[in-house]
Structures are given as structure tokens and as C-alpha cells.
Structure 1
Amino acid sequence: MEENSLGMIESELAILLRRLTSISTYKIGSLDRSAYLLLQQIAYHGSSGVKALSDEFRLDISTVSRQAAALEQKGYVSRIPDPLDGRAYFLQITDQGKTELNDNKNARLAIIEELLQSWSDEERMMFGQLMRKFNRTLIES
């Protein structure tokens, strides 16, 4: 990679993070980012334990436990016992959680669609693929 391209990526990432931080003070839908990501992970990959979720998001177990408790209190997830360990449990998304997740996803998609309305389908696809590749690279590092 040329130094010029690295400089451009570094600068654009700094700007992106700043702008995302500024707009993240305005909630999109009723779920904050952590709740949205936890619900999405459970909905797409099935019931999950707090340890697996903390590993996935590289967070402390106590942080994920606190976030999961808030989701449970709102009725978005329920606990199901781990059949192999009576002390442990898995989190399962409820119907209410699925509805909330879908509503929030649609609100996010509407904003992204508006932002990228002048982009071609090819540009959107390329951007999504490169973001996915970058996110996977972050996990592997």
C-alpha cells in the first residue's frame, strides 16, 4: 500500500469516527447501539450465552451482563437454562425483541438509503464489501 493511500484512509477514518460520534448523540429508533448489536447477534445467530457475546464484541462479561439485564428488563430477551450447566443460561430474543429490532433496523436503513441515494448499486455494494472486510480485519488483529 502506498503511503498516500494509508494517509487518506487514516484521515477519512478519523473524520468518520468524529461524525459518527456527533450523530450518535441522536438516537436512531429506541435502541442504543449496544442493545441493537446484542439483539442483532442473538436474532441472527440464535440463543447465546453472555460469555460468547462478550467474546464476539470484545467486551467484559460484566458489561455484556449489564446490557443483557437491561434487554431482559424491557422484555426483549429471555433467559433459557443451559441444559449442560444448571447455573448458566442462554439469552433468547423474544417476539417483542424481534419487533423492536426490526423497527430499529428499518429506521437505520432509511437513513442510510437517504445518505446514499446518489450512489449507484455497484458503489453501495463495493462500500459494504470493503466495510465488511475491514471489520473482519479488526477482529483478526
Structure 2
Amino acid sequence: MNEKHLEIIELELAILIRRATNLSSHKKLGTLDRSAYLLLRRIANKGAAGVKVLAEEFMLDISTISRQAAALEQKGYLYRIPDPSDGRSYKLDITELGTTVFKEHKQARLERISEKIVDWPEDEREAFGKLLKKFNESLKL
């Protein structure tokens, strides 16, 4: 592996993480933090899920997902569905309010990103998306 290329990737990733954090915390994006946004997005797109499943998907502890979900429940964005096959467990699903807040937040994020890449040719946007997805896939355990 070319050391120079690796060093460029390492530096650009560090800068990307810093700038992406700044971008996503912009006032225009509302009140959802990254973890809340990702949980709502996952449930909105794939449906209700248990805490264990979510913890595995996000590679986090069950206690972390439980804490994040509880905060979203308190805001009225998620609710619990009892698991009929196991009276002790439940699944989390998104409320109408949670869906509305998620969609607004997603739209604001898309607009902010669009502003940054408006001058890029479409083939570069496509390639960048594919490479980001490929890199994220390689980070899975």
C-alpha cells in the first residue's frame, strides 16, 4: 500500500469528521443529534426493531441504545411495541411526530450537503457516494 496515499486518506478523514460534525450541528438542522437522527432514520426506513437488533446494527452496547431510545421516547418520537412472543421484550417504532421531525431534519441535511457539492459534476457525486458507502462497509466488524 502506498504510504503517501494512506497519509492523504488519514488526514482527509480527520478533516472530514471535524467538518461533518460542524456541518451537522448547524442551527439550520434542528435539534436532533447524530445518534437520534440515525436511530430515527433506521426505524423510519426499516421498521420497528428491538434494542438488541439496533445495538448490533450500530455496533453499540444495548445500554447505549436503550438510553438514546429513552430520550427519543420522552420527546414523543418513538414508542414501544410489546413483543407478543416474549412478554419481557419490546420493539421500538417511530411516532407521527418522530417521522415529521426526522423528515424535516433529513431535508435540512440534504440541503446543506447539496450546497457544498452543487458545483460538482454528477458523475463525481455518484462516485463519492459509492466510495463513502464502500468505506463505511469496510468499517463493519
Q: Give the TM-score normalised by the residue count of structure 2.
A: 0.92
Give 1:43's aligned residue: 44
| CA-CA distance at 1:21 after TM superposition | 3.8
CA distance in 1, matches of 2:116, 2:41: 22
Per-residue CA deviations over 1:48-72 (Å, capped at 9, x if unaligned) read 0011111111111111111101111
List structure 1 runs of 4+ shifted beyond 3 angstroms.
Answer: 21-27
1:108-123 map, 5 Å = 108-123=109-124
- 25-34 vs 51-60, which moves further: 25-34
Is this contact kept in 1: 2:23–2:112, CA < 8 A? no
CA distance in 2, matches of 1:46, 1:24: 24
| CA-CA distance at 1:3 after TM superposition | 2.1
RMSD: 1.4
Give 2:14's aligned residue: 14
User: Equivalent pairs: percent with the same residue?
Assistant: 58
Question: Which ranges in structure 1 are unaligned for 5 or more consecutive residues?
Answer: none
Give 1:83's aligned residue: 84
| CA-CA distance at 1:36 after TM superposition | 0.3
Q: How many residues align?
A: 140
Give the match's secondary structure for 1:90. strand
Give the match's secondary structure for 2:79. strand
The alpha-carbon distance between structure 1 residues 59 and 38, as it changes in their structure 2 partners (threshold 3 A), is same
Q: Give the TM-score normalised by the residue count of structure 1.
A: 0.92
Q: Which amino acid aligns with 1:78?
A: Y
CA distance in 1, matches of 2:92, 2:73: 9
Question: Which ranges in structure 2 are unaligned for 5 or more consecutive residues?
Answer: none
